[in-house]
Homo-oligomer: A and B are copies of this chain.
């Protein structure tokens, strides 16, 4: 690869695309051309990247000509159609969609955890994980390396921007529609009706999200599972390289704009103490330990949003379970959870000689 490889961002106008433009503009500038690509609807828009105006191009086979690395952040069905076209035309494709993640000949990469997997990409495609899985991977990868993870029970507190720009707008709109009503805590009332009157558009969520939590994320899967819950299981196994890892997850959307949080109950093969975990997490790249609850120190999503690392707090030794820790993790779902991980994989590929 030339010393200044060319990068294309496909889906440059979405929630993740916006953060992606910020990331490539503020990290060490290793790229030659940065091409912005989106749907025909957004083509012609002018967006800033690295302080320069760039005209958005419509997705077409020709936009991949001369490109070394293409990062896709588009809906699954667009990836299914266009990623193979792009990959056949030359660039290494880094795909954020769920389409290829579990394919055996497509690596699923978190650079802090399994960077070498990125080199083995027979289809010229590398997938980047679901944002919920990513929120805990740097931390769990570091702990697994030392203590061998065997079981994970996870409950998520997922931010609305995980459902895109429409998700954030919906929470802001609902909060404004319900603000001033101080009866919310007494009677159920017809909240859906009130919201439907005030906000006639469709919500990206299956229930009211302001002043509420919604135990559903993704699409319906067999056995009553939500797709997001099975992704967390299957992707954790693949990234960590533990095909027999036991995982149960409940994914819940909460009225937080950005940054996913996870309550994690993690069992290891080897004995592990809180002090062990603190030592490993303090040394881990991209992880920040915030764990002094007696002093009021633990991460909260609103206070770590916009930052790259995974924040870990509330590390406790399970009282009744051997070799088991309970902990609380926060990660910005638009940064490490999406754009940043893709950018880091792109830099990994660009650094190959």
Please tell me if A341 contacts chain B, counting CB pairs below 8 Å.
Answer: no
Indicate which residue in B182, B261, B265 contacts A215 across the interface (CB closer than 8 Å). B261
Q: What residue in chain B is nearest A314 (Cβ atoms)?
A: B215
A147 interfacial by beta-carbon distance below 8 Å: no
Interface residue? A291 (CB, 8 A): yes
Contact B212 A316 (CB under 8 A): no
Listed stretches A23-31, A74-82, A108-116, A185-193; interface member: A185-193
A324 within 8 A of partner (CB): yes
Q: Which of B246, B257, B313 has a CB less than 8 Å from the CB of A321?
A: B246
A271 beta carbon closer than 8 Å to chain B: no
Asked if residues A233 and B319 are in contact (CB atoms below 8 Å), the reply is yes
Within 8 A of B (CB), among A286-320: 291, 293-294, 296, 298-307, 313-320
Residue of B nearest to A264 (CB): B250
A280 interfacial by beta-carbon distance below 8 Å: no
Does A212 contact B258, Cβ atoms closer than 8 Å?
no
User: Lowest 4 CB-CB distances: which A-B pairs, in order?
Assistant: A185-B257, A155-B155, A246-B320, A212-B302
B187 engages A182 (CB within 8 Å): no
A233–B326 Cα distance when bound, in Å, is 14
A161 within 8 A of B: yes
Does A247 reach chain B (CB closer than 8 Å)? yes
- B175 engages A306 (CB within 8 Å): no
Contact A213 B179 (CB under 8 A): no
CA distance A220 to B296 in the complex (A): 10
Check A213 against B300 for contact (C-beta < 8 Å).
yes
A207 within 8 A of B: yes
Residue of B nearest to A245 (CB): B320
Q: Which of A35-43, A64-72, A223-231 forms contacts with chain B?
A: A223-231
Chain B min CB distance to A340 (Å): 14
